[in-house]
């Protein structure tokens, strides 16, 4: 980084640290595009990068007063972006591994086998469910969360979660039946 950019970054950081009202907005205006590009390259998707960048700005806003070397503003922001992006990548891959393991365990214990077409039908049916039903089914069956944890995640009482699971399973069964899967019970 050249000396002029470093000095500009240092001045911007000092303005933010002093609490100047427009300083953080200027920081976002200056760094939004390069950080978005970097996050998109790490995450492989601009929408996911934009979501991650929101967390970057929150962390930067909360931590900028603690930045000891204002001249290192740019590398500091890139480190924050990197950390958040890597956390999301790890979370996604860990969730995917957990779903694979859960699915493999389910396949091993189930008497019925599913082919790729069956799995695709379940995913399509899941996509058709109302969000409230979809979220509890995913948390309950894919993440294996108990009702109390689901209630904490979605922010409603346990009784509501139980009701949503019941109605979600009923709706899923109907969607699959209409698609030619399952029995008429």
CATH number 1.10.1740.10 is the correct assignment for the domain at 3-92: yes
Q: Which residue has the tokens 């389910």?
A: 106
Mean pLDDT of 148-155: 82
Q: Is residue 110's pLDDT more than 80?
A: no
Residue 103 has pLDDT above 80, yes or no: no
Q: What is the pLDDT of residue 144?
A: 72
30-34, 49-53, 145-149: range with lowest mean pLDDT: 145-149
Contact 27, 12 (CB under 8 A): yes
CATH 1.10.10.10 domain extents, the chain: 114-178
Q: pTM for this one? A: 0.52
For 133, residues 6+ apart whose C-beta sits below 8 A from its C-beta are 164, 167, 168, 171, 172
Q: Which residue has the higher pLDDT, 78 or 183?
A: 78
Q: Which two tokens stand for residue 84?
A: 């958040």
What share of the chain has pLDDT > 70, as a percent? 82
pLDDT of 97 above 50: yes
Instruction: State the span(s) of the chain assigned CATH 1.10.1740.10.
Output: 3-92
* Domain at 114-178: CATH code: 1.10.10.10
Task: Return the DSSP state at 64.
Answer: G
Residue 123 near residue 179, CB atoms below 8 Å: no
The CB-side HSE value for 68 (13 A sphere, CA atoms) comes to: 0
| Among the listed residues 84, 92, 91, 96, the one whose alpha carbon sits nearest the alpha carbon of residue 39 | 84
Give the pLDDT score at 106. Answer: 53
Rounded Cα gap, residues 79 and 159, in angstroms:
43
**Average per-residue pLDDT in the chain?**
82
**Bigger pLDDT: 119 vs 49:** 49
Give the pLDDT score at 102: 57
Q: What is the pLDDT of residues 154-181, one digit of tens each?
A: 888 989 989 989 998 888 888 888 877 6
For residue 108, is pLDDT > 90?
Answer: no
């Amino acid at each position: 980084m050249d000396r002029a950019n470093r000095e500009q970054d240092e001045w911007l950081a000092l303005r933010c640290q002093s609490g100047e009202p427009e300083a953080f907005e200027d920081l976002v205006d200056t760094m939004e595009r390069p950080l978005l590009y970097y996050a998109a390259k790490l995450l492989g998707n601009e929408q996911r990068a934009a979501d991650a960048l929101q967390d970057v700005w929150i962390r930067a806003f909360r931590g900028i007063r603690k930045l000891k070397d204002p001249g290192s503003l740019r590398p500091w922001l890139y480190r924050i972006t990197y950390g958040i992006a890597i956390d999301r990548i790890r979370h996604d891959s860990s969730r995917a591994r957990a779903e694979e393991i859960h699915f493999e365990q389910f396949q091993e214990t189930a008497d019925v086998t599913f082919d790729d077409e069956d799995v695709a039908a379940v995913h399509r049916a899941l996509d058709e469910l109302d969000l409230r039903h979809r979220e509890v089914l995913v948390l309950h069956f894919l993440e294996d969360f108990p009702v109390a944890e689901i209630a904490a995640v979605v922010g409603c009482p346990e009784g509501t979660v139980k009701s949503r699971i019941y109605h979600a399973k009923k709706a899923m069964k109907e969607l699959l039946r209409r698609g030619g899967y399952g029995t008429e019970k």
